[in-house]
Structure 1
Amino acid sequence: MSDKKVQKEFPHHRIIFDWWMGLEQHKGERAALRRCDSIDAALEQVGFHRLQFALRRLELKASSQAIANVACVLAYLKPSIDLLNEKPEQRFVKLMQECTTRLAVQMGSEREGKTEKPLISELRFQRLLQAASQADDDFSVQLRRIVRHLDGKATVNPVLVADDIFYRFWALNNPDKYHGSKSFQFKLAKDYYQEIFTYQQDK
């Protein structure tokens, strides 16, 4: 897997991390978010409102729909045993130092056994890109399926996943600003395919 550095840390990173870790104590909230079949359903959940309340105090410019997407996707990720065994005050630093790979890079990472095939197939990845341009629930559905598939196969950093989701909504709502090489689709495709190129041999 190619080396990817974590971007600068922002205050909302710690808020998201603390909320995500808190799902270990609020397992009913996690289960309820996992059962949501739409973003509208997630907007009614206490787990979503707990996260939104914390982020609103930071005046983070993110829509309720974006935050609900974050809540639903991260509900499918669970902390590793190693992370849970760390002292609480050291967990955030450990995660941000050791889990530096963005989600699309992990999607493109090679399957075990030198297969020259990515963990997430190109067909599934393209479905995600197509869904990202639509203002419906398909993006959340596709991303949740991918996260569930990766969990246990790659160490997914929930903070970086949240940042990708926020970026997608900013781009979706501001197409004149986020186009071309600044588009969400280009950002993910670049990470995904450049990771694949590190292990695939030209035929």
Structure 2
Amino acid sequence: MTKMKSSLEQEDVCKIVIQWWKDLENRKADRANLRRCHDLSEVVFTPSYHYLWHQLSNLGFKNKRAVALLAGVLAHVKENDTNNTFAGQMAKTKDGSKPKVSELRFRRVLTIDEREELFIYLVRLIKLMNGNVNICNLANSIYWWNDITKKNWAFEYYDKLSN
């Protein structure tokens, strides 16, 4: 019986997510299909989603909607930047004065509860960040999206913003 992992940031689980994301580079049509998805239902109809879900479900991650959100969002990531958390990366300044993601946009994402709406918003945020994000940290936040995740994001964003 598979033991449930508590975090998608654990090394073995993170390797699976990163490898899946890297493999999309070799399967450009699959990446393009995921990028064209407008909602989570469309993501579920892609073979790439099912491959990721199978890999993660074998490790105990069985939330299909969370994995669909993960697959749909990660298809928009261009570079894996592990220098900071995703929330910290949103607060990183473009030119020394303004964060990549404004405080207003950031507070807006923290009000989102539904994964469907979160999908649309996260894709926009990734585009604002030029596709450079911490994949494992983002994956963990997406899978475990709840009030605790939102509070952690707030701490990380404002901590980075004030530095």
Same fold, judged at TM 0.5 (above): yes
Structure 2 CA distance for partners of 1:8 and 1:16, relative to 1, 3 Å: closer
3-state SS of 2:83 partner: coil
The reply to whether residue 144 of structure 1 matches residue 123 of structure 2 is: yes
Q: CA deviation at 1:127?
A: 1.5
Q: Could you tell me whether the CA contact under 8 Å between 1:119 and 1:150 is conserved in 2? A: yes
The residue aligned with 1:63 is 63
The reply to whether residue 186 of structure 1 matches residue 147 of structure 2 is: no
Percent identity of equivalent pairs: 29
Q: CA deviation at 1:8?
A: 6.5
**Unaligned stretches of 5+ residues in structure 2:** 1-7
Within 2, Cα distance between the matches of 1:121 and 1:73? 20
3-state SS of 2:19 partner: helix
Which AA in structure 1 matches 2:117?
A: D
Within 1, Cα distance between the matches of 2:92 and 2:9? 24
The residue aligned with 2:4 is none
Q: CA deviation at 1:110?
A: 1.5
Q: Could you tell me whether the CA contact under 8 Å between 1:120 and 1:146 is conserved in 2? A: yes
Q: CA deviation at 1:126?
A: 1.5
Structure 2 CA distance for partners of 1:166 and 1:136, relative to 1, 3 Å: closer
The reply to whether residue 50 of structure 1 matches residue 51 of structure 2 is: yes
Which AA in structure 2 matches 1:157?
A: N
Which AA in structure 2 matches 1:163?
A: N
- 1:49-128 aligned at under 5 Å gives the runs 49-60=50-61, 62-79=62-79, 99-112=82-95, 114-115=96-97, 117-128=98-109
The reply to whether residue 34 of structure 1 matches residue 11 of structure 2 is: no
Larger radius of gyration: 1
Structure 2 CA distance for partners of 1:189 and 1:17, relative to 1, 3 Å: same
What is the aligned residue count? Answer: 156
The residue aligned with 2:142 is 165
3-state SS of 1:110 partner: coil
Within 1, Cα distance between the matches of 2:161 and 2:90? 9
Structure 2 CA distance for partners of 1:35 and 1:8, relative to 1, 3 Å: closer
Q: Could you tell me whether the CA contact under 8 Å between 2:85 and 2:134 is conserved in 1? A: yes
Within 2, Cα distance between the matches of 1:186 and 1:159? 18
Which AA in structure 1 matches 2:87?
A: A
The residue aligned with 1:19 is 20
CA RMSD of aligned residues (A): 1.9
Within 2, Cα distance between the matches of 1:29 and 1:70? 15
**Unaligned stretches of 5+ residues in structure 1:** 1-6, 80-94, 172-178, 199-203
